[in-house]
Structure 1
Amino acid sequence: MDIILIAVIGITALVSYKGFNDNDFFRKYEFHIGRVRSGEQIRMITSGFLHLDFMHLLFNMITLFFFAPYVIGIIGNIYFLYVYFGSMITGSLLTLYLHKDDYSYRAIGASGAVMGVIYASILLDVNHRMYFYGFIPGYVFGIGYLLYSIYGIKAKRDNIGHTAHFGGAIGGYLITLIREPSLFTTNLEMIGLLMIPILVLFYMHKTNKL
């Protein structure tokens, strides 16, 4: 496994473990609309290293483990980091935009960054399959994950950053297309397909159905 990917997973696991056992630490670095709007923008990044519990952390890191090597193998470590952290930031930005008037809104998780990597890997390798998840094609998993996230946003049963999934997908989508514009001629159908759940989210937001 690539050393950069090992470092990302390791640091995320260590920070998350610290948060599991130290509530003050968790509250200091989680995404919180009121705190972010008061000037603590660092939370837009630090919240991406925190997780709700061990299963939340495990799911995100296993997903990253299966998708990231495709991105690293095709566009290299530097652009993988651009995709990962760029998607983390766009996930937080979309969360801030959609929940800007809810000063008590909280969220945590690397899901936005991981979703960006998922979208990047699908664009770069349309035939990618996640064998761990039962031979599911990557694009089916990615789109299904986003559609499930709409349910998570509506249900509001936890402080997992479901909105950040969409922001992360947008980040991974745009960064990859900027890096590889040839995809507009070689993979136009998938570009359009991956845009569908993102458009559904904005439509539901516009029509107050979220």
Structure 2
Amino acid sequence: MAANSLTYQYKTAPVHIKLIVLNALIFIFVRLTGFFFNIDLFTITSWFVLPDSFSEFILQPWAFISYAFIHYDFFHILFNMLWLYWFGNFVLNLFDSKRFLTIYLVGAIAGGLLYVLSYNLFPVFEGKNAYLLGASGAVTAIMVFIATYTPNTAFRIFTFTIKLWQIAAFLFVMDLVRLPASGNEGGLLAHIGGGVFGYFYAQQLAKGNDIGAWFTNFMDWISDLFTPRKKKPFKKVHRTQTTQQKTKRSTTSETKTDNQRKVDAILDKISKSGYESLTKAEKDFLFKAGKE
């Protein structure tokens, strides 16, 4: 019964909670495998971390995503998952799970690409062999995306009121400042790559351009491969529509248009004054609209 309950809770959990659970399970599995079989971390994860050498990563292209699910130690995964939970809540207040996954996974890819390009183009990294692991590039993409899309969303820490853009800007600048002498150049490059993607994605989305649509479509295609096709029930086809059907369709179309206008007005309000400025009714309406 307990196992069934946990399975049900996982299936019905928000996508960022599922990602946190998945990351935690992988971390525990890797650690226990290493302990019981006396194997070091790299030996276990070598086919999943992202190498900097072209001759290596070309043989494991999946590593551009899989590296984001491997973590070095407890504090590495702890802080990544805390940031993912916190900023993930803001994103999922406005967008659905598919959009969230697109930001997260393409953010990981962007972070991996900047890391690989930097280690192969810039002389400062010559002779340094490195491997990239950790979800921080993907998490940074989530953080910068929502801070760009709703920059004035504010919340209180103790007696201070802070806006999302201020947190994102501070952390992003800190990564740039620490890059020359951090000892973790690869990880910081992944942060920067994910953050740059999150920024441009939010900027373009606000203009009506979904630059992540290709990846969302790709995920749908993958999902369809593993989803059994159901036989379509036989439908009767009528040559003409009755007046009642036309009226019903027209009413539904008008309702959708009105709902979209209301959603747009609420999103404008969030952009100007932050999510906390919404009334309870507006929050409820936005939540229901996202479900639909």
User: Normalising by structure 1, what TM-score?
Assistant: 0.76
- Taking the aligned partners of 2:189 and 2:161, their CA distance within structure 1 comes to 27
Identity %: 22
Structure 1 position 55 matched with structure 2 position 66 = no
RMSD: 2.8
Q: Deviations over 1:126-156 (max 9, x none)?
A: 2234657975432222122122222443224
Give how far 1:88 is off.
Answer: 0.6
Give 1:26's aligned amino acid: T
Equivalent residues in 2 for 1:144-159, closer than 5 Å: 144-158=170-184
Give how far 1:36 is off.
Answer: 4.2
CA separation of 1:14 and 1:30: change in aligned 2, threshold 3 A = same
Equivalent residues in 2 for 1:1-210, closer than 5 Å: 2-21=13-32, 22=34, 23=41, 24-34=43-53, 36-100=56-120, 102=126, 104-129=129-154, 136-158=162-184, 161-181=187-207
SS at match of 1:99: helix
Q: Which runs of 5+ in 2 are unaligned?
A: 1-11, 35-40, 210-267, 273-292
- Taking the aligned partners of 2:191 and 2:100, their CA distance within structure 1 comes to 17
Q: Deviations over 1:9-57 (max 9, x none)?
A: 1111122233344322233321211264442221111110111211111
SS at match of 1:6: helix
Q: Which runs of 5+ in 1 are unaligned?
A: 189-210
SS at match of 2:71: coil
Given that residues 111 and 192 in structure 2 are in contact (C-alpha distance below 8 angstroms), is that contact kept between their aligned partners in structure 1?
Answer: yes
- Taking the aligned partners of 2:164 and 2:116, their CA distance within structure 1 comes to 28
Given that residues 88 and 113 in structure 1 are in contact (C-alpha distance below 8 angstroms), is that contact kept between their aligned partners in structure 2?
Answer: yes
Which of the pair has the greater relative contact order for Cα pairs under 8 Å at 6+ separation?
A: 1
Give how far 1:79 is off.
Answer: 0.7
SS at match of 2:93: helix
CA separation of 1:46 and 1:135: change in aligned 2, threshold 3 A = farther
- Taking the aligned partners of 1:26 and 1:156, their CA distance within structure 2 comes to 24
- Taking the aligned partners of 2:28 and 2:105, their CA distance within structure 1 comes to 20
Give 1:150's aligned amino acid: L
Give how far 1:160 is off.
Answer: 6.0
CA separation of 1:131 and 1:168: change in aligned 2, threshold 3 A = farther
Give 1:59's aligned amino acid: F
CA separation of 1:44 and 1:130: change in aligned 2, threshold 3 A = farther
Using the TM superposition, name which of 130-139 and 169-178 deviates more.
130-139
- Taking the aligned partners of 2:151 and 2:177, their CA distance within structure 1 comes to 26
Using the TM superposition, name which of 3-12 and 32-41 deviates more.
32-41
Q: Deviations over 1:156-193 (max 9, x none)?
A: 4247611011110122122223332169xx769xxxxx
Is the radius of gyration larger for structure 1 or structure 2?
2
Give how far 1:108 is off.
Answer: 1.3
